[in-house]
């Protein structure tokens, strides 16, 4: 076993060695610009890009022409929000989302809110899911977009995006989903879900950082997105800028691997996740699962350990790389907005740890993590005067 043990696979994943092998030639001998049309270096790069585009399209059941490359899911989300807002503001200015979205969704919509758009933040239940009737009632004639994530990055909740998409279609409203945590981990089929737009990122599925994609459904008339970046008209004028060919190749290879192994991999990772959870609740009292174990990403476990703070627990178990929540917001001392939205009280929200089990975690690592977590929680509780008094009171 190598230390520290990485259990934060929702924030990012290590690049799969097969992905790295596929990328390396495009940094050296195959370094051409995919927009160079006059020589073999450009043709070779363009061919690699189109192959990767097809690999990504195939895993989600799309056509290659519906996939556009970006720098990551954050850019794709911003492109979906701002692109629709600018192109369809003459129809209306209402956009609907949920209270538990990733900050890339919430921050871009708050920007639009400051600039005259009406943003509806739907509440969620204890599992992190919205009420479909409330969604339907919130859509009016001024609504142009609904943006709801496929799977939550903190508590792992998998939303019924097929039903959400159907409601939007019945109301003639565009549906966008942030699928960054879902791609390669659970089934995501655009023919079944039928979203108008979907956002993805390679580094969540053992690909490189700095590359993502947006799916834009081929409609008649076409969905109009005002681009964020101008200058060269790359990606059919949707996203200008020289294409990151090595990153795109890596993205394509990463989804190809996932398409072959994700069912077996999901089963194995779910088993490790359940072993971790069941062991912790067997040996420790006052352990609270955030969200429901059902309809959850295979490797996700978000737990509050009553009587200890997350920061002190992480410091105590330096051999384990875990997080207190989303990597983009861990600098904040405020309780997670996701945990608050599902009704977790502040004291438990501040004692929550997110475990993200991934492809390269072994059973031996999970066994070690179980032992270390139990030891650390027990030690910290024994050092807490308030916890000790509470236990003595309960005992008496």
Q: Which of 286, 269, 253, 226 is nearest to 53 (CA)?
A: 253
Relative to beta strand 5-6, strand 197-201 is unpaired
* Active site residue ranges: 328
Residue listed under structure tokens 């009171």 = 393
Q: Which of 116, 178, 125, 119 is nearest to 144 (CA)?
A: 119
Strand, helix or coil for residue 321: strand
CA 366 vs CA 46, 98, 375: distances in Å: 43, 33, 14
Give the contacts of 154 (CB within 8 A, at least 6 positions apart).
Answer: 10, 100, 290, 302, 325, 326, 336, 338, 339, 354
| One-letter-per-residue 3-state SS of 347-395 | HHHCCEEEEECCCCCCHHHHHHHHHHHHHHHHHHHHCCHHHHHHHHHHH
> Could you tell me if 68 and 213 are in contact, meaning their C-beta atoms sit under 8 angstroms apart?
yes
Phi/psi at 22 (5° precision): -70, -35
């Amino acid at each position: 076993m190598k230390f520290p043990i990485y259990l934060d696979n929702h924030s990012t994943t290590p690049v799969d060695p097969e992905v790295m092998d596929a990328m390396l030639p495009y940094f050296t001998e195959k370094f051409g610009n995919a927009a160079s049309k006059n020589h073999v270096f450009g043709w070779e790069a363009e061919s690699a890009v189109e192959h990767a585009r097809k690999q990504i399209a195939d895993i989600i059941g799309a056509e290659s022409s519906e996939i556009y490359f970006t720098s990551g899911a954050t850019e794709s989300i911003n492109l979906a929000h701002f692109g629709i807002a600018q192109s369809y503001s003459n129809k209306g200015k209402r956009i609907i989302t949920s209270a538990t979205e990733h900050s890339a969704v919430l921050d871009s919509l708050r920007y639009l809110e400051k600039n005259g758009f009406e943003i509806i933040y739907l509440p969620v239940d204890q599992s992190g899911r919205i009420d479909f009737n409330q969604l339907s009632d919130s859509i009016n004639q001024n609504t142009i977009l609904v943006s709801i994530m496929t799977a939550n990055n903190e508590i792992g909740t998998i939303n019924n995006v097929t039903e959400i998409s159907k409601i939007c279609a019945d109301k003639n409203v565009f549906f966008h989903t942030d699928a960054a945590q879902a791609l390669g981990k659970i089934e995501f089929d655009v023919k079944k879900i039928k979203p108008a737009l979907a956002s993805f990122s390679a580094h969540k599925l053992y690909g490189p950082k700095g590359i993502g994609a947006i799916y834009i459904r081929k409609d008649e008339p076409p969905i109009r997105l005002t681009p964020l970046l101008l200058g060269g008209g790359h990606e059919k004028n949707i996203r200008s800028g020289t294409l990151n060919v090595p990153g795109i190749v890596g993205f394509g290879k990463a989804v190809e691997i996932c398409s072959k192994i994700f069912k077996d991999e999901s089963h194995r990772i779910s088993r490790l996740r359940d072993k971790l959870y069941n062991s912790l609740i067997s040996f420790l009292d006052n352990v609270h699962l955030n969200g429901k174990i059902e309809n959850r990403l295979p490797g996700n476990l978000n737990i509050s350990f009553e009587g200890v703070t997350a920061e002190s627990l992480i410091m105590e178990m330096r051999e384990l790389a875990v997080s207190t929540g989303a990597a983009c917001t861990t600098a904040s001392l405020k309780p997670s907005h996701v945990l608050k939205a599902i009704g977790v009280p502040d004291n438990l929200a501040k004692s929550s740890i997110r475990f993200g089990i991934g492809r390269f975690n072994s059973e031996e690592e999970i066994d070690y993590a179980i032992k270390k977590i139990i030891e650390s929680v027990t030690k910290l509780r024994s050092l807490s005067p308030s916890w000790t008094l509470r236990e003595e009171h309960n005992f008496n």
